[in-house]
Structure 1
Amino acid sequence: MMVNLFSVFDPSTSMFNLSMNWTSTMLGILIMPMMFWLIPSRSLIMWNMITSTLHNEFKTLLGPNGFNGSTFIFISVFSLILFNNFMGLFPYIFTSTSHLAFTLTLSLPLWISFMIYGWINHTQHMFAHLVPQGTPAVLMPFMVCIETISNLIRPGTLAVRLAANMIAGHLLMTLLGNTGSSLSYYLMSALLLTQIALLTLESAVSIIQSYVFAVLSTLYSSEVN
């Protein structure tokens, strides 16, 4: 019972026998930018190592003709896809990377910009890509058609690869999880271990697919230089 009007401000909030009164005081520190911290956290150090490794690898793939700073575009794409892939592993969170509306939005503008830049600035080089070196003269018309088709479907393959891999794992986990209510205790234990293994596999797939998307985008951009 409230003794007086000001008793509503008395510290009384607790969870698991831990006082939660001063949690709100520390929430502002959590959103403080990392540049203002005296010593960077271990997670920030690890992320900096990952981005530095990706920068060096993408720089090698782009070659000496690549523009300075262009690797940051692909590192940003990698970070965006990786974040969305991992967010989709949590329950009741929409997995945006499993839909073509998201993946095509990433791949199509990248591919169109590469094509526009290549055909305007390196027209002869782009024509040379349509006929691989050492192709017999008889097969040249067919190779031009094949290379043109393979070039046109690149954004689609990038988008479908990412979406299909994310859908497949989530769909398998959902189908297995829906059968849990009708299983016995021993089968339920086996199902739980299977779900944990699938979740670990999906975590690896989330990293691999974001890396594959970024690497293939880098390779496509290196071909137009």
Structure 2
Amino acid sequence: MMSNLFSIFDPSTNIFNLSLNWISTFIGILFIPYSFWLIPNRHFMFWNFILIKLHNEFKTLLKNNYFYGSTLIFISMFTFVLFNNFLGLFPYIFTSTSHLTLSLSISLPLWLAFMIYGWLNNSQHMFIHMIPQGTPSVLMPFMVMIETISNIIRPGTLAVRLTANMIAGHLLMTLLSGTGNNMNYYMIMFLVLIQILLLILESAVAIIQSYVIAILSTLYSSEVN
């Protein structure tokens, strides 16, 4: 019996105390059709179309900070998070992005790299960025404190946003599916319809959240120059 409602998201499959649930993070490539590796084909052209659109979007956001290949890290992060979000929608597959362990491992190193680069190479710009233009002298210390706190919590907000959105939908689907044993035939049919609609919604959330974390990381990187 689970100790609390959220324990259903805990990694529990292990061999010799080594958790096997996290292997799901690396099996996304197995879901790609074999024909994807044959060029040209419809799968490759469709995915290449998405990557080009993402590249142009990130290139626009980076502005003057763009250089050849700079969007690759954000496109890779989008792809990685997207695959793991979708894997969690399959039965009996561990949702790795619903844990702060993974989401913080993505957001914290990126944020730390941006901050170190910004303060070492553009310290004057980083100081100016803490005080918005036109701020009264009396409010400057408070603005510096507020901007500092907002910068520090950025990796946490990125990680918690992804984790909370992935947990919320899965938790709702789990709670609804647990009520099916006490329902009659017609209510079960209605419950199945609701679950299908929730699954469609979760598919949209999986795409949106991977896009959001990539876009916000791009915006944070554009602020250091």
Please state which band the TM-score falls in when normalised by the shorter chain: 0.7 to 0.9
Report the Cα distance in structure 1 between the residues aligned to 2:208 and 2:218, rounded to whole angstroms: 15
User: Could you list the per-position Cα deviations for residues 12-36 of structure 1 after superposition, in whole angstroms to 9, with x for gaps in the alignment?
Assistant: xxxxxxxxxxxxxxxxxx65872xx
Matches of 2:174 and 2:132, distance apart in 1: 45
Q: Which has the larger radius of gyration?
A: 1
Q: CA deviation at 1:67?
A: 2.9
Deviation string for 1:63-108 (max 9, x for gaps)? 0232321100000000000000000000000000000000000000
CA distance in 1, matches of 2:215, 2:190: 37
* Structure 2 equivalent of residue 25 of structure 1: none
Instruction: Give the CA deviation at 1:193.
Output: 0.4
Alpha-carbon distance change, 33 to 200 in structure 1, aligned in 2, over 3 angstroms:
closer
Any gaps of 5 or more consecutive residues in structure 2? 1-32
Report deviation, 1:122.
Answer: 0.2
Answering whether residue 180 of structure 2 is matched by residue 180 of structure 1, we say yes
What is the TM-score of this pair, normalised by structure 2? 0.83
Alignment correspondent of 2:26? none
Partners of 2:35 and 2:210 lie apart in 1 by: 27
Aligned mates of 1:65, 1:41 — CA distance in 2: 34
1:70 is matched with: 70
What one-letter code is carried by the residue in structure 1 that aligns with 2:146?
Answer: I
Whole-Å Cα distance in 2 between the matches of residues 215 and 46 of structure 1?
Answer: 21
Hey, what's the Cα distance between the residues in 1 that align with 2:195 and 2:36? 36
Residue 98 of structure 2: aligned partner: 98
The separation in 2 between residues aligned to 1:32 and 1:209, in whole angstroms, is 28
Q: Kindly report which structure 2 residues correspond to 1:1-225, keeping only aligned pairs within 5 A, or say none.
A: 31=34, 34=37, 37=38, 39-225=39-225
Partner of 2:20: none
For residues 44 and 208 of structure 1, the distance between their equivalents in structure 2, rounded to whole angstroms, comes to 22
Q: Secondary structure at the match of 1:80?
A: helix
Q: Distance in 1 between matches of 2:71 and 2:199?
A: 31
Give, as a single letter, the amino acid of the residue that structure 2 aligns with 1:105.
S
Q: Deviations over 1:130-159 (max 9, x none)?
A: 101111111111000000000000000000
Bigger shift: 57-66 or 106-115? 57-66
Moved over 3 A (4+): 30-33
Structure 1 position 177, deviation (Å): 0.5
User: What amino acid does structure 1 have at the position aligned with 2:46?
Assistant: M
Q: What is the CA distance between 1:181 and its match in structure 2?
A: 1.1
Q: TM-score, normalised by structure 1?
A: 0.83
Deviation, structure 1 residue 199:
0.1
**In 1: Cα distance, 2:136 partner to 2:114 partner:** 28
**Aligned counterpart, 1:24:** none
SS at match of 2:92: coil
| AA matched with 1:62 | L
Cα deviation per residue 1:160-180 (whole Å; 9 max; x = unaligned)? 000000000000000000111
